[in-house]
Amino acid sequence: MSTIHNKKQTGKTVKWLIIGCVLMFGFGFALVPLYDVFCRVTGLNGKVDLTPAKPSLVIDNARSVKLQLVAVNNETMPWEFRPKVAITRLSPGAMHQTAYLARNLTNKMMIAQAVPSVSPSEAAPFVQKINCFCFKRQPLKGNAEKWMPLVVSIDPELPEHIHTVTLSYTLFDITPDDLSTVTFRERGSL
């Protein structure tokens, strides 16, 4: 009788272990989208919204925030990429217009995508990109260059203890293997 009871108990244990493994596997897949939502809501990890913001109607001229603009190429991106001005000061609520230079150092047409990040992460919800090259793919013919526009503002609600905000863009190569699948608008060098 003891052997039958042990077999039943072992069967139940194996069944629960298999169910537990399946649930853990599914939870592992769910973590990535959950983490993205969490970062978007809290601003942690410097993730920012990729939709145009509406400019603030209030400008806090009594305050000045240092804005550092950084350009980073992904290791596989063979372009020159840099901001027109690396550091500027602006009053929260005021719009700042600048640009980033992109120069394709290859002989072939490529398409890039810029991904923004804000530091400190607490400042991410307060960085308002009104017009940003990161909203769209950036096609560029071989050996061509272009200035990509950026209009940014810092929300006046930025916490008082934050005096410096770094807006960093990482440029990625998203050129498809077969350029014939790219639409006409994406093919031209904007």
Judged against a pLDDT cut of 70, whether residue 186 lies above it is answered with no
Nearest residue to 169 via CA among 123, 89, 112 = 112
For residue 188, the model assigns a pLDDT of: 46
pLDDT of res. 184: 44
pLDDT tens for 82-131 read 999 999 999 999 999 999 999 999 999 999 999 999 999 899 999 999 99
Q: Give me the pLDDT at residue 154, please.
A: 94
Dump strand ranges (E) for the chain.
Answer: 65-73, 79-83, 87-90, 95-104, 110-119, 127-132, 138-140, 145-154, 164-173
Q: Residue 127, Cβ neighbours under 10 Å: how many? A: 22
0.75 surpassed by pTM: no
> Residue 190's pLDDT is what?
40
Tokens of 147: 């200035």
Residue 180 DSSP symbol: G
What architecture (CATH level 2) is domain 48-187?
A: Sandwich (2.60)
Whole-number pLDDT of residue 20? 85
What pLDDT score was predicted for residue 56? Answer: 66
Query: Which carries the bigger pLDDT value, residue 39 or residue 13?
Result: 13
pLDDT of residue 152: 94
Handedness of CA 42, 47, 51, 54 (dihedral sign): positive
Half-sphere exposure of 12 (CA within 13 A, CB side): 6
Query: What is the C-alpha separation between 149 and 183, in angstroms, rounded?
Result: 22
pLDDT above 70 covers what percent of the chain? 78
62 pLDDT higher than 60: yes
For 134-165, write each residue's pLDDT tens digit.
999 999 999 999 999 999 999 999 999 999 99
The CA distances from residue 143 to 2, 72, 103, 109, 111, in Å, are 80, 19, 7, 9, 13
Per-residue burial over 24-56, b = 16 or more CB atoms within 10 Å of its CB, e = otherwise? eeeeeeeeeeeeeeebbeebebbbbeeeebeeb
d(CA 11, CA 8): 5
